Amino acid sequence: MLFLAMVQMRLEGGEFAANRLRAAEQVGQVAPGIRAFAGSWIGSFLLATGVLLGDTPSTPTLKSTPLDLRFSETEHDFGRVRGGELLPNAFTFTNTGPGAIEIDLVQTSCSCVELGRWPTRIGPGEVGAIPFQFHTVSYSGQVTETITVTGKGPEPVSVVLRLKADVWRPIEVRPAAAVFEYYPDDAARSALTVRIVSQIDEPLELAAPTSSHPALTAEVVPVVPGREFDLTVHVIPPPKLANIVGKLTMKTSSDAMPLLEVPVHVLAPAPVSLSPRTLRVPAGPLSASASQSVEIRGYAPDPLLLEAPVVNLKGASATLSEIKPGRHFILTVTLAPGFVFPAEGKAEVTLKSNHPQYPLVRIPLMVMPPSAPQATLTPNR
C-alpha cells in the first residue's frame, strides 16, 4: 500500500511538491543539495509528504501558491440597462507577487465587447486595468460575456472575467435580427417571420415597414392588438446571386422608442447546391443491391447543365435525372450485390457542369457508421 501511495504522489503531487520547495527556499528552509535530491522521484515523494522540510506528515502546512495577479472583481454586473446603451467599465488588478507579470493575450467572447489598451508588463506592487466597452445594441434579456486574460510571471496567469447585464427594451424583436437563406425557386423558403413585443403600458401602433434594400419587402400583422406583432420578411431575388444585408424601419406610437429598426441578413445559396453534400454508403459486402441519392439544384441565372456522372468504385454506378430543366436534378448511386467499400483510396462521384465556377462537381462517398448492437433478452432456463 505504501508503494502505491508513493506512485500516486509522484503522479499527482509533482506540482504540489514544487510549490513547497519554492516556498521553503524563500524562508531559508532548504539546505544545499536538497533541490537536486528533490528532483528524483523519491525526493518528490519525501518533499510532498514533508519529510525533507521537517513537517509532520499528517499535518500539511502549505497550500498551492495563490495567483499573483489579483483583480478587484472578476465579475461585473451592470444590472438592468436600456438596449442600445454603450456600457464602459474596467477590470482593475494588482501584482501582489515578487516578480513582474507579462500579459500576453486578452480575448473577448464576443465582438460586442470592445477592449481598450492595457499594460503588458506589471511590476511587483503595480496596479493596472483592462478597460472595455460593452455594446448592447444587438441584445435583449439576460446577457453574459467573458474576457480571458493569459500571461506569465513567477506563476502562469489565466483568468476569466465575466460581465453581465439585463438588457431591457421598450419594444423587443425576437430574435433581434432576421437571418435566413433564400432560394430563387422557392418563395416559401425565402421568407422569415420575427415577433415584435411591446414592453410598455400603452397600446403600441406600428407603421408599415420601409426597407433599406430593394430586394427586401415586409409586412406587419397584429397578433395581440397593441402588444405583439409578426413581422414577415420576404426576398425578391436579385438578378445576381449575392448575400443581402439591410434593415427594416418602422415608426411607432411610443415616445420611448419612436423608431424601430430590425437588421436583416439574407444568405444566398451556392450557384450549384448539393443535398446532402456527402453520400454515406454501407461498407459491405452487400447481399442485395442498394442505392443513395443526392439532390442537385442550380441557382445561377443561366440554366445548369450536368452530364457524365461517374463513380470511381467497383460495383457502383450513377444515373442522373432532370426534374426541372436547368434547375433541379437527382443523382442516384446504385451499389450492386457483393459491393465492398475499399479500405484505401478516395471514393467519389463526379459530374461535368457548364458552370464556370464548378466545371467538375465532386460528391465524396464515405462509409456509413456501424449500427449500434441491439439488446436481446435471453429467457431463464
pLDDT, mean of residues 317-346: 91
pLDDT, mean of residues 130-156: 90
Cell numbers of 9, please? Answer: 504522489
Q: Distance between CA 185 and CA 174 in Å, rounded?
A: 27
Tens of pLDDT, residues 11-31: 334 443 444 444 444 434 444
Q: Angle of helix 41-49 relative to helix 2-12, nearest 10 degrees?
A: 90
The pTM of the whole model exceeds 0.75 = no
Among 88-92, 183-187, 292-296, where is mean pLDDT lowest? 183-187
β partners of residue 268: none
Most confident region among 205-214, 308-317, 336-345 by mean pLDDT: 205-214
Are the beta carbons of 242 and 280 closer than 8 angstroms? no
Q: Distance between CA 65 and CA 55 in Å, rounded?
A: 18
Tens of pLDDT, residues 226-281: 999 999 999 887 767 788 999 999 999 999 899 999 999 998 888 898 999 998 88
Cell numbers of 263, please? Answer: 437588421
- What 3-state class would DSSP assign to 181? strand
Q: In the structure, what pLDDT confidence band is assigned to residue 295 with cuts at 50, 70 and 90?
A: very high
Whole-Å CA distances, 226 to 32, 261, 291: 83, 18, 55
Residue with cell 449500427: 371
Are the beta carbons of 338 and 358 closer than 8 angstroms? no
Q: Is the dihedral of CA 22, 24, 26, 29 positive or negative?
A: negative
Q: Distance between CA 118 and CA 235 in Å, rounded?
A: 45
| Complete domains list, the chain, with CATH | 9-65 (no CATH), 69-168 (2.60.40.10), 171-267 (2.60.40.10), 272-367 (2.60.40.10)
Cell numbers of 95, please? Answer: 501584482
Average pLDDT for the chain: 80
Tens of pLDDT, residues 38-96: 444 334 433 333 434 434 333 333 333 347 889 999 999 999 998 888 999 999 999 99
